[in-house]
Amino acid sequence: DQQVKQNSPSLSVQEGRISILNCDYTNSMFDYFLWYKKYPAEGPTFLISISSIKDKNEDGRFTVFLNKSAKHLSLHIVPSQPGDSAVYFCAARELGAGSYQLTFGKGTKLSVIP
Amino acid sequence: DAGVIQSPRHEVTEMGQEVTLRCKPISGHDYLFWYRQTMMRGLELLIYFNNNVPIDDSGMPEDRFSAKMPNASFSTLKIQPSEPRDSAVYFCASSLVGDRTDTQYFGPGTRLTVL
């Protein structure tokens, strides 16, 4: 049973527009969430994170929103650029009990069209 | 820093052969993770170590898989015997607890093909 779900395998957006990537989770013990970006033939790289005590975190063009009651988070990229074309993974961590392992979604492939 | 280093980058082998994947974590990091990525299952955690000690290996699919971390700068993931269904990209990642975000830093991966 997937605890972290990214229901859209792919997304196409025009350059300059907003990209919105969504992620849902089922484990109510998750309290730290991350987004990773992956280019072909490379490993995932950390993009942005959010703690469950917040509902928004912003870093330049990237903003992550967390809705705990809905168990939903989203990544907004504004404005989208062709270099943002990559696979984006949502990940969650259950803090406490000394656990630092991440549970990943299957990813959403973002294509930004020039 | 060179980042997490994995070798080989590509491995093609025949069913039944032993495969060893290698990882050098970022110097000073105290956690090391092994993941497997497939189309069907996405990124799955196989095992992770803290200060060279295996903490959770519940993700290791079968006894054919084993992992070791003999010292802070080296880890191996071994598959013996390998099977075609083991074909995947295997990632190693490391992290430093107490880092700004406790994020994991991934290596470039090893693409394994078992014929």
Least CA distance to B95: which residue of chain A? A100
Nearest CB to A42 within list B101, B103, B108: B108
Q: What is the mean pLDDT of chain B?
A: 93
- Tell me whether residues A89 and B45 touch, CB distance under 8 A: no
DSSP assignment, residue B16?
T
Note the pLDDT of residue A98. 57
Q: Which residue has the tokens 């060279």?
A: B52
Using the predicted structure, report yes or no on whether residue B113 has a pLDDT greater than 90.
Answer: yes
Residues of A in contact with B103 (CB under 8 A): 34, 46, 49
What does DSSP say about strands A62-67 and B19-24: parallel, antiparallel, or unpaired? unpaired
pLDDT at position A86: 97
| pLDDT band, very low/low/confident/very high, at B108 (cuts 50, 70, 90) | very high
**Residue B72: pLDDT band with limits 50, 70, 90:** very high
The residue in chain B having the minimum alpha-carbon distance to the alpha carbon of residue A47 is B103
List the single residue in A34, A98, A105 with the smallest CB-CB distance to B103.
Answer: A34
Residues in A lying within 8 Å of B, measured between beta carbons: 32, 34, 36, 41-46, 49, 89, 93, 98-107
Which residues on chain A are in Cβ contact (under 8 Å) with B109? 41-43
Determine the residue of chain A that is closest to B58 in CA distance. Answer: A101
Residue A61 burial (10 A CB sphere; 0-12, 13-18, 19+): middle
Amino acid, res. B66: S
* Whole-Å CA distances, A88 to A46, A73, A111, B41, B59: 10, 13, 11, 15, 22
List per-residue pLDDT tens for chain A, 114 residues long. 789 999 999 999 999 999 999 999 999 989 899 999 999 989 999 999 999 999 999 999 999 999 999 999 999 999 999 999 999 999 999 876 556 788 999 999 999 999
Instruction: Supply the pLDDT for residue A94.
Output: 84
